[in-house]
């Protein structure tokens, strides 16, 4: 679970660390992808829409939205109920001349108020906020537009961002890709945002390469074929069913071994996630961003939730028919192969 920027601000006005410099993900050249996912360049179901002008992705907290509020809401309503019970009981006793419970009442109140404030503050990070915080990559203008958590928008040139893998804090830290805005000295971090994925370190290069290829390479048809699932949240709020489906997505039937545990957690989280979606507002891009992202009506690249698998439950449960699974596998494998060939050809020519 990720507990950094959504709950604790990024550390700014500091120099880049040696690790950040060493692990920099550079624009302008391919990134070698190794480990579990081989040479695959993947989007991990984070793309909301992709066309020849821009690609919009979710923020890295969207995947597990509802998890934190499901825990803190339980804590909040428990202490709220306990406080109301003590209040009513104490008033009733005092009304009847029994003042023995007053010391306990006054001792409990500071603790009750503290836990109500603490849990309520965390609930409001997901409830009554924004449904998601999108990141838009404009391929034509070479700009990145980031919807901040305070509702403002950061717009920065693609080439001016320093990207690097970053590990979060906590007992079970997860990796993500941070984009640092540097001062003129190219050392001091002025602002930071994260790309739309968090997880193990080994999946970061493939995701970064997917973003980099969109902004720099001539391989949009191949990337369109790689995308299998888009969250349907561009102009509407996520439904309860899709929220549950997104939470329980399985990579293979081996995940069924942990299916009961995954489903039990997802069912609890999905309720808080649905409340978060229904109480939050859909983010709206400023007019200048929308004007810079005008799409050609004849654009051959147009990937969105309209292209999602027909049998979505089967897809998220890794239980597609053999024909469906084979068709998706062949499509993506062909796209991976063509994409790698195009990248290799383009950069072998450049290197020479």
pLDDT for residue 2 is more than 90: no
The pLDDT of residue 227: 97
213 or 260: whose pLDDT is higher?
A: 213
Does residue 272 sit within a domain? Answer: no
Residues 212 and 301 in one domain: yes
Does residue 4 sit within a domain? Answer: no
Does residue 255 sit within a domain? Answer: no
Residues 303 and 204 in one domain: yes
* Residue carrying the six token digits 């929308």: 290
Residues 114 and 142 in one domain: no
11 or 7: whose pLDDT is higher?
A: 11
For the ranges 20-24, 152-156, 183-187, 344-348, which has the lowest average pLDDT? Answer: 344-348
CB 328 within 8 A of CB 318: no
pLDDT band at 87 (very low <50, low <70, confident <90, very high): confident
Segments in the chain forming alpha helices (H): 18-22, 67-95, 102-123, 204-216, 220-226, 240-247, 259-279, 287-292, 312-316, 322-351
**Mean pLDDT (the chain, rounded):** 90
Domain that holds residue 343: 14-57+132-236+282-349
Does residue 63 sit within a domain? Answer: no
The pLDDT of residue 184: 94
| Residue at which a domain ends, from 107, 126, 145 | 126
Does residue 220 sit within a domain? Answer: yes
For the ranges 103-117, 182-196, 273-287, which has the lowest average pLDDT? Answer: 103-117
For residue 89, the Cα-to-chain-centroid distance in whole angstroms is 45
Q: State the total domains in the chain.
A: 2
Residues 180 and 201 in one domain: yes
Residues 49 and 85 in one domain: no
Number of Cβ within 10 Å of residue 124's Cβ equals 13
C-alpha distances out from residue 333 to 42, 167, 323, Å: 11, 30, 15
Task: Name the token pair of 89.
Answer: 């009981």
The pLDDT of residue 237: 97
Q: Which residues, in sequence order, are CB contacts of 262 under 8 Å at separation 6+?
A: 248, 250, 255
Residues 205 and 287 in one domain: yes
For residue 53, the Cα-to-chain-centroid distance in whole angstroms is 22
What percent of the chain has pLDDT above 90?
71
Residues 105 and 157 in one domain: no
Average pLDDT over residues 84-99: 82
Residues 204 and 321 in one domain: yes
The pLDDT of residue 171: 60
* Residue carrying the six token digits 């200048």: 288
Average pLDDT over residues 284-304: 96
pLDDT for residue 82 is more than 60: yes
| Residue at which a domain ends, from 110, 126, 142 | 126
Residues 150 and 198 in one domain: yes
Q: What are phi and psi of 327, to 5 degrees?
A: -65, -45
Does residue 36 sit within a domain? Answer: yes
Average pLDDT over residues 76-85: 90
| Residue at which a domain ends, from 94, 126, 158 | 126
The pLDDT of residue 170: 61
* Residue carrying the six token digits 């040139």: 157
Residues 154 and 195 in one domain: yes
Does residue 84 sit within a domain? Answer: yes
Q: How far apart are CA 198 and CA 193, in angstroms?
A: 13
Does residue 247 sit within a domain? Answer: no
The strand pair at 54-57 and 47-51 is best described as antiparallel
Residues 47 and 77 in one domain: no
Number of Cβ within 10 Å of residue 60's Cβ equals 26
Q: How far apart are CA 173 and CA 87, in angstroms?
A: 41
pLDDT for residue 38 is more than 60: no
CB 250 within 8 A of CB 317: yes
Residues 145 and 116 in one domain: no
Degrees (nearest 5) of the Cα angle 154, 158, 160? Answer: 85
For residue 9, the Cα-to-chain-centroid distance in whole angstroms is 17
């Amino acid at each position: 679970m990720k507990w950094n920027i959504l709950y604790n601000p990024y550390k700014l006005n500091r120099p880049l660390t040696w690790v950040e410099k060493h692990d920099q993900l550079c624009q302008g050249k391919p990134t070698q992808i190794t480990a579990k996912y081989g040479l695959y360049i993947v989007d991990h179901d984070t793309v909301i829409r992709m066309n020849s002008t821009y690609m919009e992705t979710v923020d890295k907290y969207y995947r597990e939205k509802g998890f934190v509020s499901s825990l803190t809401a339980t804590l909040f309503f428990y202490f709220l109920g306990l406080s109301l019970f003590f209040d009513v009981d104490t008033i009733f006793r005092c009304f009847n001349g029994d003042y023995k419970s007053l010391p306990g009442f006054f001792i409990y109140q500071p603790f009750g108020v503290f836990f109500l404030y603490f849990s309520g503050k965390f609930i409001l990070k997901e409830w009554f906020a924004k449904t998601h915080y999108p990141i838009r990559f404009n391929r034509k203008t070479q700009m990145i537009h980031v919807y901040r958590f305070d509702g403002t928008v950061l717009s920065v040139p693609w080439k001016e961002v320093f990207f690097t893998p970053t590990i979060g804090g906590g007992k079970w830290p997860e990796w993500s890709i941070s984009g640092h805005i540097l001062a003129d000295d190219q050392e001091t971090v002025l602002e930071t945002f994260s790309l739309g994925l968090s997880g193990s370190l080994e999946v970061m290069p493939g995701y970064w390469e997917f973003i980099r290829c969109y902004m720099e390479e001539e391989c949009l048809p191949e990337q369109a074929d790689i995308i299998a699932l888009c969250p349907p949240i561009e102009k509407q709020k996520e439904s309860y069913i899709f929220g549950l489906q997104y939470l329980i997505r399985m990579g293979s039937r081996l995940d069924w071994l942990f299916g009961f545990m995954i489903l039990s957690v997802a069912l609890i989280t999905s309720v808080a996630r649905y409340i978060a979606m229904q109480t939050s507002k859909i983010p709206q891009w400023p007019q200048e961003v929308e004007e810079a992202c005008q799409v050609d009506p004849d654009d051959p690249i147009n990937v969105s939730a309209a292209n999602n698998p027909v049998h979505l439950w089967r897809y998220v449960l890794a239980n597609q028919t053999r024909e469906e699974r084979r068709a998706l596998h062949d499509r993506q494998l062909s796209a991976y192969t063509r994409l790698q060939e195009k990248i290799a050809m383009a950069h072998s020519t450049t290197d020479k």
